[in-house]
């Protein structure tokens, strides 16, 4: 039943399969037919590479016929003669196929392993743009994505320059994650320039310094008392609005006239000295907050219920209160944002004789250069003096120019 020169035949193989006896029969040139005790049939190519005996599984019989197995074995033997190792190539191909993720799978992995470690605001921003990436590119494999796909994503989104830039940054971080997992070797976002797609970035809005006259109108604005107190504390302490609306009472020590702000992505932890008048404003807020753990608890019961029964106001509340006052009362005040209150304090402090470094420390900015690296002094007492002087100035702006500085100082320290 053997074929020419001892090679196998289809008839012979069918006979062995029907008999069901485990065996391994050579066809020549390293090609071997195998039959297991369980009835599994297959083709194996045995060869030498690097001085070692190796095996390559070609496939199952009859899925791969005798003629096909011989053809494949001929190709693989040619590769071996060229110095390649077919078994190793197959193993690499299987590993590659196992990691041939879709973009949707990559986004899921990025959310679970990277996004959760970022600041909450960054999670919100990146999360918004990851949804855009999923919608446009989710069904494609990571290896298929090219720079042209990312460009098409940005152009089709029709966002503002700033949001388009954030979309590009998010996409770049996503594919950097893919590079780190060795799903790809090159980030497809590399080399993409937003200016080439949308033109040069529009000029950034310049920070505003409210004048004494504008501060007078603001400090006498007909707002809800809690909103008015919020703006006064923002002005008096120059904290970022998020640091105030997220503040908890456990960090405010009114007896020691001190407010601790925990470390965040925007700044290091900081203890803020509170002028006596500012302590009084916090006491008012304490009464208005009721049983809430937050200095500025949410107005909406629904918002609080969705967040476990107690939470802070939304990030837009302070900005909305300012906007409503400007639109409703139409005061002679330029349109400003909560962040402009920081630049207002910074600018006026210079005219009050506060040294630049102290005013920078009041804003929780790092000192520049070598000094910023080695100077670990918190300047608490210096900041306390500067903020007390600033509180007197704010009271002067509130009441106008008809009150003497001595009276104002006494009122601020009362």
Domain extents in the chain: 4-98, 103-198, 212-413
pLDDT in tens for each of the 414 residues of the chain?
344 455 899 899 999 999 999 999 999 889 999 999 888 999 999 999 888 898 888 989 999 999 999 999 999 999 888 888 888 877 776 666 556 799 999 999 999 999 999 887 789 899 999 999 999 999 999 999 999 999 999 999 999 999 999 999 999 999 999 999 888 999 999 999 999 999 888 877 677 899 999 999 999 999 999 999 999 999 999 999 989 999 999 999 999 999 999 886 656 788 999 999 999 999 999 999 999 999 999 877 777 677 677 889 888 899 999 999 999 999 999 999 999 999 999 999 988 999 988 998 888 876 555 344 444 467 889 999 999 999 999 999 998 765 445 444 555 555
CA 24 from chain center: how many Å?
Answer: 58
CB burial of 55-86 (b: ≥16 within 10 Å; e: otherwise) equals: ebebeebeebebeebbebbeebbeebeeeebb
Q: Give strand pairing partners of 60.
A: 42
pLDDT at 136: 94
Contact status, residue 133 vs residue 170, Cβ threshold 8 Å: yes
Cα-based torsion angle of the residue sequence 278, 279, 284, 285 in order, rounded to the nearest 10 degrees: 80
CATH 3.40.50.10860 fits 103-198, yes or no: no
pLDDT at 83: 87
> What is the fold, at CATH topology level, of the domain defined by 212-413?
hpI Integrase; Chain A (1.10.443)
pLDDT at 403: 47
Q: Tell me, yes or no, if the pTM score tops 0.75.
A: no
Domain 4-98's class? alpha beta
Separation between Cα atoms, residue 113 and residue 409, nearest integer Å: 54
Sheet arrangement for strand 252-253: 252-253, 258-261, 270-273
Separation between Cα atoms, residue 8 and residue 122, nearest integer Å: 66
């Amino acid at each position: 039943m053997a074929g020419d020169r001892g090679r196998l035949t289809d008839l012979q193989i069918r006979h062995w399969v029907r008999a069901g006896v485990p065996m391994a029969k050579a066809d020549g040139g390293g090609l071997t037919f195998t039959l297991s005790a369980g009835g599994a049939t297959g083709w194996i190519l045995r060869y030498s590479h690097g001085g070692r005996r190796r095996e390559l599984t070609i496939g199952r019989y009859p899925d791969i016929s005798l003629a096909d197995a011989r053809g494949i074995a001929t190709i693989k033997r040619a590769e071996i003669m060229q110095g390649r190792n077919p078994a190793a190539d197959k193993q690499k191909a299987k590993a590659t196929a196992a990691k041939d993720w879709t973009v949707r799978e990559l986004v899921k992995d990025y959310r679970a392993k990277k996004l959760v470690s970022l600041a909450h605001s960054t999670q919100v921003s990146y999360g918004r743009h990851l949804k855009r990436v999923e919608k446009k590119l989710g069904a494609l494999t990571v290896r298929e994505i090219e720079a042209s796909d990312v460009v098409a994503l940005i152009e089709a989104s029709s966002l503002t320059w700033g949001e388009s830039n954030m979309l590009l940054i998010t996409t770049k971080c996503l594919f950097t994650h893919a590079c780190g997992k060795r799903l790809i070797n090159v980030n497809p976002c590399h080399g993409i320039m937003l200016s080439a797609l949308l033109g040069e970035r529009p000029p950034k809005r310049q920070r505003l310094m409210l004048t004494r006259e504008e501060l007078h109108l603001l400090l006498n604005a007909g707002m809800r008392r809690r909103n008015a107190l919020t703006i006064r504390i923002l002005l008096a302490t120059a904290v970022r609005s998020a640091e105030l609306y997220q503040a908890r009472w456990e960090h405010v020590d009114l007896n020691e006239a001190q407010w601790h702000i925990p470390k965040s992505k925007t700044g290091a932890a900081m203890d803020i000295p509170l002028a006596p008048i500012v302590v009084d404003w916090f006491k008012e807020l304490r009464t208005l907050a009721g049983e809430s753990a937050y200095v500025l608890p949410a107005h909406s019961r629904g918002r609080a219920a969705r967040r476990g029964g107690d939470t802070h106001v939304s990030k837009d509340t302070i900005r909305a209160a300012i906007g409503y006052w400007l639109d409703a009362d139409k005061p002679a005040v330029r349109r400003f944002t909560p962040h402009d209150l920081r630049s207002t304090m910074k600018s006026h402090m210079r005219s009050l004789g506060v040294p630049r470094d102290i005013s920078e420390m009041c804003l929780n900015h790092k000192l520049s250069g070598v000094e910023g690296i080695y100077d670990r002094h918190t300047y608490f007492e210096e900041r306390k003096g500067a903020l007390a002087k600033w509180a007197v100035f704010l009271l002067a702006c509130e009441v106008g120019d008809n009150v003497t500085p001595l009276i104002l100082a006494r009122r601020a320290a009362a």
